[in-house]
Structure 1
Amino acid sequence: MRRWGEEELIVGVYMDDLIITRARAEDIDGFKHEMAAHFKMSDLDALSYSLNIEVRQGKQSISLGQRAYVEKLLERGGIAECKPCATPMEERLKLSKHSTIAKVDATCYRSIIGGLCYLTHT
């Protein structure tokens, strides 16, 4: 690994995307220039969104959020307009084998649960 100054660059790789970070912008620019000499690439400038994580960069801080991802999950689940409640189910509900309610799409249900697991781990 080539060193840039006294600190090493941190490069995150996901599929065909690179996220490069370093305290000095000049070092990042030098790394990008060297990579462009070897590979066809485009520079999307400052990171703002990756892997369903919103990135907001200020002069002295970086904040991460997932509001848009949560809103997409709520919309896919059909509960985007619901209001919060202490018990998220109908009280005194009687269940029956002979229900006339349409069956739940298992693939959609699994997808939403997978999204909630991803949200929990990130």
Structure 2
Amino acid sequence: MGKKELIIGMYVDDLIVINARAEDIDSFKHKMVGHFLMSDLGTLSYYLSIEVRQVKESLMLGQSGYASMLLERSGMAECKPCVTTMEERLKLMKASTIAKVDATLYRSIIGGLRYLVHTRPYIAFAMGYVGSFMEDS
């Protein structure tokens, strides 16, 4: 293997540096300090509402804190967990006699669910289904 390849993720002024060899990461950080004022926050544990756990040779991602905040914001913090993400054969209609919900809050919750799909792909169908009700027809 001739090249030392790094994967670098950047969000605003934060960098995540990934490589199989710690020496390559240290070399990169040393070069960066020569050009920029920066600090090393150590091993990644939390980034953009995604919890990161590193064990041996694996990486586990989660968003339990973000999911709890989303449940709280939607008024569902006390709901009970269930096995399925959506009731089977659920039929929803845009035309309804019940009072309309706050459209801004609904869009915000749908956006939060879309972000939650990164670590919980099994909710994608249910999120897409309820997301189709964001606009009046």
- One fold, TM greater than 0.5? yes
SS at match of 1:38: coil
RMSD of aligned residue pairs (Cα, Å)? 2.3
Aligned residues: 108
Q: TM-score, normalised by structure 1?
A: 0.76
Q: Does 2:46 correspond to 1:64? A: no
Q: Which moved more, 1:10-19 or 1:78-87?
A: 78-87
**Partner residue, 1:49:** 46
**Partner residue, 2:4:** 7
Matches within 5 A, 1:1-122: 6-84=3-81, 96=97, 104-121=101-118
**Partner residue, 2:134:** none
User: Structure 2, unaligned stretches of length 5 or more?
Assistant: 88-95, 120-137
Higher relative contact order (CA 8 A, sep 6+): 2
User: Structure 1, unaligned stretches of length 5 or more?
Assistant: 88-94
Structure possessing the higher radius of gyration over alpha carbons: 1
Distance 2:13 2:28 in 1: 17
For residues 16-57 of structure 1, give each alpha carbon's deviation from its aligned partner in whole angstroms, at most 9, with x where no partner exists.
110001111111111111101101111110011112111001
Q: Identity of aligned pairs, percent? A: 65
Distance 1:58 1:21 in 2: 15
Distance 1:84 1:24 in 2: 41
